[in-house]
Amino acid sequence: MRMLKKILASVLLSMSMAAYAADIPVDAKLDYNQGIDFYKLGMYERAIESFRSAVRTYPDYIDAYYNLGTVLEYLKQYAEALSVYKQVYLRNPNDYEVIYKLAYLSSKLEDYKKAAEYLKLIPQSSSYYQRGQELAESIKVSTTLPVQPSNAPSKIASQSGIYENILSPTGITTDNAGNVYVATFSDNTIMKITPEGKRQVFLKSSLINGPISLVSDNAGNIYVSNYNSGNVVKINPSGVASVLVSKLDKPYGLHVEGNMLFITCQGSNSIMRQKL
């Protein structure tokens, strides 16, 4: 247990310099650093409240969320820690340490299906991949993503037809399970149509604003170009959305080739490349 405290303190200290990012309010910085001080003194509840105050003041304070989750995890308040780490993941979906923690905490709460879903998001190139595989083995879940062979027949309806009564449809893409995803521009929604023709709302979020194009990659992620917001949003296989790239001038078409996303921008008469 003493080693755990030492590791945690090291994590907190190593992140403290990031607290001074220019766009973070002074009050949030003070609460953040106070939380570190309280932790060092063993005043964990006071540390928790200080980190909570920091994120109330600045809701995108990733380091504060991380440290709050770490203290809660140390105190074995697993459900609360899981909820806090999800806030980090929403803001940085490529933080594989946090994804591992989400899987680990899900397993602690005996939600093994969710743990497996998180573990599938950790690529082999990540330093957390091996730990993820060891966790998967210990809780007896598979982390292998289902891959549809290139010569296998598509599950998508093979007969000509029409999907009617879809409000202002724009972009469209599919997945390996045969589902069709459609962006509806005026309703700011991503619809899902199953191979059986059943329709449901896949995502309706403030992050979707004037969706134009949709494209998917081999890992099952879907990318949305938001014409009105000037950004591209990534939706992972679990349905969690996050902004992948912003400050685009009227993004329109999307194309994925390997680990590269191509984005046409009408406002700047250009094509942007974004590494995935």
Tell me the per-residue pLDDT of 63-96, one tens digit each, with 9 for 90 and over.
Answer: 999 999 999 999 999 999 999 999 888 888 888 9
DSSP state of 145: P
Separation of CA 113 from chain center = 17
| Residue limits of CATH 1.25.40.10 in the chain | 26-139
Q: In what order do the strands lie in the sheet with 211-216?
A: 211-216, 222-226, 231-235, 241-245
| Residue limits of CATH 2.120.10.30 in the chain | 169-275
> What percentage of the chain exceeds 90 in pLDDT?
59
The residue among 6 and 37 whose pLDDT is bigger is 37
* Residue 180 scores a pLDDT above 90: yes
Residue 188's pLDDT band, with cuts at 50, 70 and 90, is: very high
Strand partners, 271: 264
CA-to-CA distance for 261 and 275, rounded, in angstroms?
Answer: 6
Per-residue pLDDT at 271: 95
Per-residue pLDDT at 8: 44
**pTM metric for this prediction:** 0.52
Count how many residues are written for the chain: 276
CA-to-CA distance for 187 and 208, rounded, in angstroms?
Answer: 9
Segment 184-195 shows an average pLDDT of: 90
Instruction: At 66, list the tokens.
Output: 């991380």
Instruction: At 33, list the tokens.
Output: 């650093």
Q: At what angle do helices 129-138 and 96-108 cross, to 10 degrees?
A: 10
* Residue 20 scores a pLDDT above 50: no
| 36 touches 67 (CB < 8 A) | yes
pLDDT tens column, 223-270: 999 999 999 999 988 788 999 999 999 999 999 998 899 999 999 999
The CA-based angle 110-85-147, given to 5 degrees, is 65
Whose structure tokens read 């974004």? 274
pLDDT tens column, 122-157: 988 889 999 999 999 998 887 665 544 445 555 555
* Residue 56 scores a pLDDT above 90: yes
Whose structure tokens read 């009564």? 165
Question: Measured between alpha carbons, how far is residue 192 from residues 47, 183, 198, 208, 224 in Å?
Answer: 43, 9, 8, 15, 14
Mean pLDDT, the chain, integer: 85
Question: Measured between alpha carbons, how far is residue 266 from residues 50, 207, 244 in Å?
Answer: 45, 20, 18
Per-residue pLDDT at 157: 57
Tell me which fold the domain 26-139 belongs to.
1.25.40
Name which CATH class applies to 169-275. mainly beta
| 187 touches 167 (CB < 8 A) | yes
Segment 178-194 shows an average pLDDT of: 91
Per-residue pLDDT at 189: 92
Per-residue pLDDT at 18: 43
Instruction: At 28, list the tokens.
Output: 């949030």
Instruction: At 40, list the tokens.
Output: 């060092």
Per-residue pLDDT at 23: 76
Q: 1: how many CB neighbours lie within 10 A of its CB?
A: 6
